[in-house]
Structure 1
């Protein structure tokens, strides 16, 4: 009992420290210049970026809060319990909901139901007028946004259990659990629902595909295997959002690897590269993009995983998970800047400051630019030309 409690306390401690300590902002950073954020440098402008609109969606921000785009509407939530639907074109708030509790994760939405979660495992669902539809209870705290679609609302709780609730009623549908490590990162992770399958990364370095209707596991693949002598060294969580490009399903871990599997060949891995990311990856049809744990931005070819380019000008700037727009690949940083890099060679093309302290939420690509959820509860659209 005491051992179990001690491990839970240790896990909570690392979760509270989050990625900040693991990403190079170490307790020794003031004594070692290699951990200092790189200063902003001059560059030849290749894109024009400007704030198209900004909308207040609540108070606060942080890991676990990721906006969702459905059609021409953006759904977002904030830690103070505010939930909003915002018009992408104008930034006009179409409705506001109130979860009546502090939140730890949000949102998931399919345009009909929008779901958020609280630290005690409460899951709150809203209809598309912003009215509360139902409440349910997960088995423990939820720090990852719910996934909504295929008739279910799916959450992953801190006891490594994935649970589904009926989208219409909130009644439990199924749940599965996998053994988890003693320690796990506190960073952005996200499940997705595609073609009736729930795709989720796990803290044990695996990707999993689950039948959304009945909870049966259809496939599991190993992105990386834990290594090291201590619990801290063995952290190898799948971070960010699993990426699908055609038949490829790709994922990346902290202290591990980036791997792409071919789902048309039974999920066979087609390439893998050693990689350590704090925040996750994104892809276009040709390349995968991610910042490593020292915030060196990199592009890898989807065909075989070879490195196409790397950009060190943003080292230690605590980069967010990136977004790809036609003109560039974008990363947010700890000072509220959004940086635009060439997809071809990684050169700096532009930057804009959106405010709101550190950008910890993943950037979201849209057909109107890049959406940024800031640390002070604003949703900002950055137009790019």
Structure 2
């Protein structure tokens, strides 16, 4: 878990702890303690479906960032920590163009049919046209970890100081901004922003989910997805994870050490909520909402009432990515680059595909019949069920 803090004393304490760990690792006589929660070994099973890799490319390492592919029209846009930004054909993986942004990247990608945006070092926001030409460069108040939301003529970002800013997608002119107080400690995570025709839905540290007017950034409503509680600052971390999920008239979200639930998108009224803790976002199909908790369990709950349908425990502690529904299956990646395919009926394993051995990061996307994902080492791959 990565922790971000605004308290200098806590930063120093964490650095000292990290230094002690490093010194111990240099001691040849020191024994290495066994992991408290070792990842579950991969179970053997008889595949009930065939999944093959349609195409695969390497865009470059993500470093410590959580990049993921973005769909814009019939193209997929991908980025890497070294400043690489590329446009690929979603169907074939053919590279249309690849450029260098001129500076390291920390977040991305956000895309529409004609605008591509990324977060760069020092809180810089860069926007490009669909042909790879830079449109504008703007400055946010601090580092950006979550992918920009590009929709309705806006590029919206949230920086780690809890400031949400909307820029005009064509000119980069700042349209509005909103500042929220930040808790003493928060996950160093990369929550996304969901946008519909009228509102932006933003997950915040402290377990808050806020709906903002696209017109002026004014709050429409704010609800608690997680309530910070406990005796220490660490125990009280309860941040919204992943990107809020828009499901018709509902918006669903999940928090670390908090809850998983859905609220009315117009009013914020709670539809249902369940105790849940996750560091990644949610997936859904027509019937169920899917969540991967921080212990590596994957759960399915009914969309209308949050009734638990099944829970798969075979991937315990495998640091799962956001689950994604694909046709008649649910896909979830893990820390070794495996993509696991589960039955939406009972959660049973249906298939498994390996990639480059590094962690599946961010949120995979669905483009037509393909599931497209990115790994920490930089592989971008499209999988198709047969």
| Counterparts of 2:12 and 2:91, CA distance in 1 | 45
Alignment partner of 1:158 out of 145, 157, 160: 160
Q: Give a deviation string over 1:331-383, Cα, whole Å, max 9, x none.
A: 11111100000001000000000115111222222322211111222210011
| Counterparts of 1:14 and 1:276, CA distance in 2 | 25
Q: Give a deviation string over 1:246-274, Cα, whole Å, max 9, x none.
A: 2111100000101111235x221011100
Matched residue of 1:6: which SS?
A: helix
Matched residue of 1:120: which SS?
A: helix
Call closer, same or farther: CA 1:130–1:272 in 2, change over 3 Å: same
Q: What does residue 291 of structure 1 align with?
A: 292
TM (normalized to structure 2)?
0.91
Q: What does residue range 227-246 of structure 1 map to in structure 2 within 5 Å?
A: 227-246=229-248
| Counterparts of 1:356 and 1:170, CA distance in 2 | 39
Q: Are 2:277 and 1:271 equivalent residues in the alignment?
A: no
| Counterparts of 1:50 and 1:215, CA distance in 2 | 44
Alignment partner of 1:172 out of 164, 167, 174: 174
- TM superposition shift of 1:60: 3.2
Conserved 8 A contact 2:356-2:379: no
Q: What does residue 343 of structure 1 align with?
A: 344
Call closer, same or farther: CA 1:12–1:94 in 2, change over 3 Å: farther
Q: What does residue 372 of structure 1 align with?
A: 373
Call closer, same or farther: CA 1:193–1:97 in 2, change over 3 Å: farther
Q: Give a deviation string over 1:300-342, Cα, whole Å, max 9, x none.
A: 1112112100011111111111111012101111111000000
- TM superposition shift of 1:14: 11
Call closer, same or farther: CA 1:70–1:206 in 2, change over 3 Å: same
Call closer, same or farther: CA 1:9–1:77 in 2, change over 3 Å: farther
Q: What does residue 105 of structure 1 align with?
A: 107
Q: Give a deviation string over 1:184-237, Cα, whole Å, max 9, x none.
A: 112342112211311111112111111122111112121121101111111100
Conserved 8 A contact 2:103-2:121: no
Conserved 8 A contact 1:188-1:362: no
| Counterparts of 2:337 and 2:239, CA distance in 1 | 26
Call closer, same or farther: CA 1:29–1:229 in 2, change over 3 Å: farther
Call closer, same or farther: CA 1:175–1:12 in 2, change over 3 Å: farther
Matched residue of 2:363: which SS?
A: coil
Conserved 8 A contact 2:58-2:378: yes
Q: Give a deviation string over 1:138-167, Cα, whole Å, max 9, x none.
A: 001111111112121111001100011111
| Counterparts of 1:301 and 1:73, CA distance in 2 | 32
Matched residue of 2:8: which SS?
A: helix
Q: Are 2:315 and 1:319 equivalent residues in the alignment?
A: no
Call closer, same or farther: CA 1:149–1:5 in 2, change over 3 Å: same
Matched residue of 2:229: which SS?
A: coil
Conserved 8 A contact 2:326-2:369: no
| Counterparts of 1:115 and 1:78, CA distance in 2 | 13
Call closer, same or farther: CA 1:69–1:171 in 2, change over 3 Å: same
Root-mean-square deviation over aligned CA pairs: 2.1
Conserved 8 A contact 2:194-2:246: no
| Counterparts of 2:77 and 2:263, CA distance in 1 | 30
- TM superposition shift of 1:55: 1.7
Q: What does residue 354 of structure 1 align with?
A: 355
| Counterparts of 1:256 and 1:12, CA distance in 2 | 27
Q: What does residue 6 of structure 1 align with?
A: 9
Q: Which runs of 5+ in 1 are unaligned?
A: 16-27
| Counterparts of 2:63 and 2:75, CA distance in 1 | 20
| Counterparts of 1:335 and 1:56, CA distance in 2 | 16
Number of residues paired by the alignment? 369
Q: What does residue 118 of structure 1 align with?
A: 120
Matched residue of 2:361: which SS?
A: coil
Call closer, same or farther: CA 1:96–1:213 in 2, change over 3 Å: farther
Alignment partner of 1:182 out of 173, 181, 184: 184
Call closer, same or farther: CA 1:214–1:29 in 2, change over 3 Å: farther
| Counterparts of 1:179 and 1:285, CA distance in 2 | 36
